Amino acid sequence: MTPRVAILDDYQQVALKFGDWSTISNRVNIDVFTDTLKNEDAIVERLRPYEIICSMRERTKFPRSVLEKLPNLRLLTTTGMVNRGIDLDSAKERKIIVSGTAARGDSTVEHIWALVMAVARYIVAEHNNVREGNPQWQTCVPFGLSGRTLGLIGLGRLGTAIAKIAKVFNMRVIAWSPNLTPERAEQGGAEFCSSKEQLLKTSDIVSLHMVLSEKTRNLIGAAELALMKPTAMLINTSRGPLVDEGALVEVLRNKKIGGAGLDVFDEEPLPLDHPLRKLDRVTLSPHNGYANDTIYEQWWKQTVENVEKYLQGEPIRMLY
Give the residue numbers annotated as catalytic, written as ranges: 239, 268, 287
Nearest to 78 by CA among 7, 3, 5: 7
123 CB neighbour count, 10 Å cutoff: 16
Question: Could you write out the three-class secondary structure of 176-225?
Answer: ECCCCCHHHHHHCCCEECCCHHHHHHHCCEEEECCCCCCCCCCCECHHHH
Rounded to whole angstroms, the Cα distance separating 235 from 244 reads 13
Peptide bond into 230 cis (omega under 30): no
Rounded to whole angstroms, the Cα distance separating 297 from 63 reads 28
Q: Which residues, 6+ apart, have CB-to-CB distance to 16 below 8 Å?
A: 7, 30, 32
Rounded to whole angstroms, the Cα distance separating 317 from 274 reads 38
- Residues 57/58/64/66 CA torsion (nearest 10 deg): -90
What are the CA-CA distances from residue 200 to residues 125, 163, 183, 208, 316 (Å)? 26, 17, 21, 11, 44
| 173 close to 166: Cβ distance less than 8 angstroms | yes
Q: Which residues, 6+ apart, have CB-to-CB distance to 194 below 8 Å?
A: 176
Q: Largest Cα–Cα distance in the chain?
A: 66
